[in-house]
Amino acid sequence: MPCCRSAYAGLTQVSPSLTRSQEERRVGWIRRLLPLLRPQRGRFAVALVASGLAVLAQLAIPVVIRDAIEAALPSPTNPIPRASLAPFVVALVALGIGRAALGFISRDGLARVAFGLEHDLRAQLYEHLTRLSFSFYDRVQTGQVISRANSDVRSVQMYLTYAPSLAVTVVSFALALVLMLQVHVGLTLVAVAALPGVFLLGLRMRQDLYPLSWVVQARLAEVATIVDENVTGTRVVKSFAGERRQVALLERAARRLHWATLRQFDTRARFGPLMEQLPRVGLALVLVYGGSLAIEGRVSIADLVLFNFYVVMLQAPFRSLGFLLMLGQRAAASAQRIYEVLDTRPEIVDRPGAVALAHPRGEVELDAVDFSYPGSGEVVLRGLSLHLRPGDTVALVGRTGAGKSSVARLLTRFYDVDTGAVRLDGHDVRDLTLASVRHAVGVVVDEPFLFSDTLFANIAFGCPDAALDDVVRAATAAGAHDFIATLPEGYDTVVGERGYTLSGGQRQRVAIARTLLVDPPVLVLDDATSAVDAQREEEIHAALRTLMAGRTTLVIAHRLSTIALADRVVLLEGGRAVAEGTHAHLLATEARYGEVLESATSADQSSAAHGAADHRRPTVASGGRR
C-alpha cells in the first residue's frame, strides 16, 4: 500500500519568540501583535491618513459656518453684508462630501486591517494548538480552547478596529483646542472644564470593569464547556437519564455568568450616564458665559456659534473614549489569554538535529521505563522493559489501569518517559523526528475518532492522496469493506459527528483500515477489536494475521481469540511486567494471568449483554410509535 509521507510535515517547528515573562505578556500585547500588522502597513497608513483628513474636514465645517455668519451679519468691520452665501454653501457641500468619502476610506481600511489581523491571529493560534502536546489537552477544557480561539480573538479585533480612531480623536481634540484658544482663552477653559472629570470617571470605570471582564470571559468559557460536553457526551447523559442534572449544572453556570454580566452592566450603568452628562455641563457653561461675553461684544455671535459646534463635537469622542477604554480592557484580557496559549511550549518537539527514521525495520524496545503523566504524581510505569524484534507479535495483558494504553502512547511519543528510554530500531525516539516516529508506529485505539466526513476521507486521513483501490484494500483487510459496500453511497457516505452513525465495531474497523493504509512497520492495537463481535473479530483476525506478517505488532487485548494471535504474552501489573511467555505457559504457571483474563472476560460479557440491550431499545421505541 503506497502512501504519502508528508502528512505531519511542518507541524513541529517552534517559533523562538514564544517565551515571555508574565509582565511582558500583560503590557506588551500590542507590541507582540505588530509583526502581524507589518504586511498590512500600507493599507493601515492610508486609512490613518484618510482618518486624519476626515477630522480636518470635520473641524473646518464650523469655521466655514462662522465665516458665513460673519459675511451675512452686519458688523463694524463689515457694515454692508455680501448678498451671496453661495461660496460658503459650495464649500460646506464639498467638505461634507469629502468628509464622508474620507470617512469611508478610513473606516473600511481600518476594518480590513483589523479583520486581517484577526484572521492571522486565529491562524497562529490554531497552528499552535496543533503543535501542543497531549499534556496540554489533558489539562485544558475544550470550551476554554474554543472560547479563546473565537471570542478572545474577536475582542482583540474589535479593539484594533476602533483604537486607531482613538488616536485620531486625540489629534482632533488638540486641533479644536487650538482653534478655540484663538477665539477666547477664558471661554475655552470653561468649555473643557468638565472633560477632565469625564476622563477621571473613565479611569474609575476602567478599574471597576477590568476584573469583571475577566470573570465574564471565564464564565462564558465555563458555559461553553458544559454545552460542549453535553453535546459530545449526549449518549452518556441520556443513557444515565442525567438530563435534568446536566440542565441544572448548566443553569448554575448560566446563573454565575448572569451575575457577572449584570455586575458588568451595573458598573457601566452607574458610570455611563455621568460620563455622558458631564460634557453637557460644559455646554451649558459655554452658553451662560459665552452669552454674556457676546452681549458685551467681546465675542462675536459667529465665534459663539463656532464654540458651540466644537463643544458638541468634542462630546462624541469623549463619550467613545469610555467605550474604547472598555474595549481596550477586554482586548487586553483576551490577548492575555490568547498569549497564555501561544506561550505554552509544546513539551514534545523535535530536538535540534533530530533525524528522520528511514526504512524502519520495526524493532521496538522499552528500556527500564519509568513514566508518570505530566502534572500527576502517580507513577504509571515502573522500570518497564519490553523488547519486540521486527515481525514479533506480542500481546500486552493487564487489568484496567495497569498502564497498557500508556505503553502505546509512549511508543508514538505522545509523552516522554521520565527515565529509561523508548527505542525504535535502536534509536531513542527522542532523537528521531516526531513525524517519522508517528509514521513508523500506527496505533488503533478502542474508541476511535472519526471526522464528519466521507468514509473515504476518514480512511485516507493519513494519506490524503491515496487512490480508491488502496483505500478499498485497506478496508477489506480491516473487515470494513463489506459493510461499506452495502451503504447506498459506499465510500462517499458521510458519517455523523464522531462517526456516531456507525456502530462501535464499524468505527473500529474503519479506524483499523485508516492505520493499515499508512502501512506502518509497527502496529499497536489498543483494544482495537473490543467493540467488534466475536464472529466478525474472527474474520478480521484472518486478515490481521496476514498483515502482521512482516510487521511488529503489539496487541493490547483481553479476549483469548485476540491473544492467540500473539507469539508471546506480557502480563502487566501496576506498571511492571510481572510475567512473560506463551499464553499456555502463563496460564499454567501464573495465577495472576488467569485472574486477569477471567475478570476481563466477565466484564466483556456483561458489556456485550449491555450492548444487546442497547440494540433492543430503538426497536421497542419504534414499535411504540407505530
Ligand X SMILES: Nc1ncnc2c1ncn2[C@@H]1O[C@H](COP(=O)(O)OP(=O)(O)O)[C@@H](O)[C@H]1O
Contact between 58 and Mg ion per CB under 5 A: no
Answer with the entry of Mg ion, ligand X, none that 400 interacts with (C-beta below 5 to 8 A by kind).
ligand X
- Which is closer to ligand X, CB of 25 or CB of 576? 576
Answer with the entry of Mg ion, ligand X, none that 143 interacts with (C-beta below 5 to 8 A by kind).
none
- Which is closer to ligand X, CB of 362 or CB of 398? 398
Select from 398, 442, 479, 504 the one that contacts ligand X (CB under 6 A): 398
Give the nearest distance from C-beta 566 to ligand X in angstroms: 16
Give the nearest distance from C-beta 444 to ligand X in angstroms: 14
Select from 108, 127, 138, 482 the one that contacts ligand X (CB under 6 A): 138
Q: Phi then psi for 252, rounded to 5 degrees?
A: -65, -45
Give the separation between CA 373 and CA 348, rounded to whole angstroms. Answer: 13
- Orientation of helix 29-37 relative to helix 301-342, angle to 10°: 90
Q: Give which of 216, 197, 214, 162 is closest to 327, Cα–Cα.
A: 162
- CA distances, 338 to each of 26, 35, 134, 394, 575 (Å): 11, 16, 19, 44, 37
Q: Give which of 35, 111, 40 is closest to 342, Cα–Cα.
A: 35
- Which is closer to Mg ion, CB of 202 or CB of 403? 403
DSSP string computed for 343-388: TSPPSS-PPTT-B---S----EEEEEEEEE-TT---EEEEEEEEEE
Q: Phi then psi for 581, rounded to 5 degrees?
A: 160, -170
Q: Cα 278 vs. chain centroid, distance in angstroms?
A: 42
Q: Is the dihedral of CA 79, 85, 90, 95 positive or negative?
A: positive
Stretch that binds ligand X, among 115-123, 401-409, 496-504, 544-552 (CB under 6 A): 401-409
- Which is closer to ligand X, CB of 282 or CB of 403? 403
DSSP class of residue 423 equals: E
For residues 171-199, one letter each, b for 16 or more C-beta atoms within 10 angstroms of the residue's C-beta and e for the rest, the string is ebbebbeebbeebbeebbebbbebbeebb
Grid cell in block for residue 304: 459663539
Select from 117, 332, 380, 512 the one that contacts ligand X (CB under 6 A): 380
Give the nearest distance from C-beta 376 to ligand X in angstroms: 4
- Which is closer to ligand X, CB of 402 or CB of 540? 402
Stretch that binds ligand X, among 251-259, 290-298, 307-315, 402-410 (CB under 6 A): 402-410
Write out the binding residues for Mg ion, residues 533-552 only, by CB under 5 A.
none
Give the separation between CA 397 and CA 570, rounded to whole angstroms. Answer: 6
- Which is closer to ligand X, CB of 94 or CB of 603? 603
- Which is closer to ligand X, CB of 99 or CB of 399? 399
- Which is closer to Mg ion, CB of 138 or CB of 340? 138
Q: Give the residue at shortest CB distance from Mg ion.
A: 405
Select from 405, 506, 552, 553 the one that contacts Mg ion (CB under 5 A): 405
Give the separation between CA 218 and CA 570, rounded to whole angstroms. Answer: 46
Stretch that binds Mg ion, among 92-100, 402-410, 500-508, 539-547 (CB under 5 A): 402-410
Q: Is the dihedral of CA 342, 347, 351, 356 positive or negative?
A: negative
Give the separation between CA 447 and CA 602, rounded to whole angstroms. Answer: 20
- CA distances, 43 to each of 107, 112, 114, 116, 358 (Å): 11, 8, 11, 11, 47
Give the nearest distance from C-beta 577 to ligand X in angstroms: 13
- Write the binding mask 595 to 614 for Mg ion: x where contact by CB under 5 A, - elsewhere: --------------------
Select from 400, 582, 599, 607 the one that contacts ligand X (CB under 6 A): 400
- Which is closer to ligand X, CB of 413 or CB of 427? 413
Give the nearest distance from C-beta 523 to ligand X in angstroms: 17
- Which is closer to Mg ion, CB of 519 or CB of 526? 526
- Which is closer to Mg ion, CB of 54 or CB of 380? 380
Give the nearest distance from C-beta 347 to ligand X in angstroms: 13
Select from 279, 290, 403, 499 the one that contacts ligand X (CB under 6 A): 403
Write out the binding residues for ligand X, residues 27-46 only, by CB under 6 A.
none
Grid cell in block for residue 158: 474589535
Write out the binding residues for ligand X, residues 404-443 only, by CB under 6 A.
404-406
Write out the binding residues for ligand X, residues 315-374 only, by CB under 6 A.
373
Select from 35, 81, 96, 401 the one that contacts ligand X (CB under 6 A): 401
SS3 track for 148-201: HHHHHHHHHHHHHHHHHHHHHHHHHHHHHHHHHHHHCHHHHHHHHCCHHHHHHH
Give the nearest distance from C-beta 366 to Mg ion in angstroms: 16
Grid cell in block for residue 459: 480512511
Answer with the entry of ligand X, Mg ion, none that 465 interacts with (C-beta below 5 to 8 A by kind).
none
Stretch that binds Mg ion, among 56-64, 368-376, 399-407, 478-486 (CB under 5 A): 399-407
DSSP class of residue 15 equals: -
Stretch that binds ligand X, among 209-217, 376-384, 482-490, 517-525 (CB under 6 A): 376-384
Give the nearest distance from C-beta 399 to ligand X in angstroms: 7
- Which is closer to ligand X, CB of 213 or CB of 529? 529
Please, are residues 470 and 1 in contact by the beta-carbon 8 Å criterion?
yes
DSSP string computed for 478-546: TT-HHHHHHSTTGGGPBP-GGGTTS-HHHHHHHHHHHHHHH--SEEEEESTTTTS-HHHHHHHHHHHHH
Q: Which helix (H) or strand (E) holds 470?
A: helix 468-477
Q: How many residues interact with ligand X (rule CB under 6 A)?
A: 13
Residues that bind ligand X (CB under 6 A): 138, 373, 376, 378, 380, 398, 400-406
Residues that bind Mg ion (CB under 5 A): 405
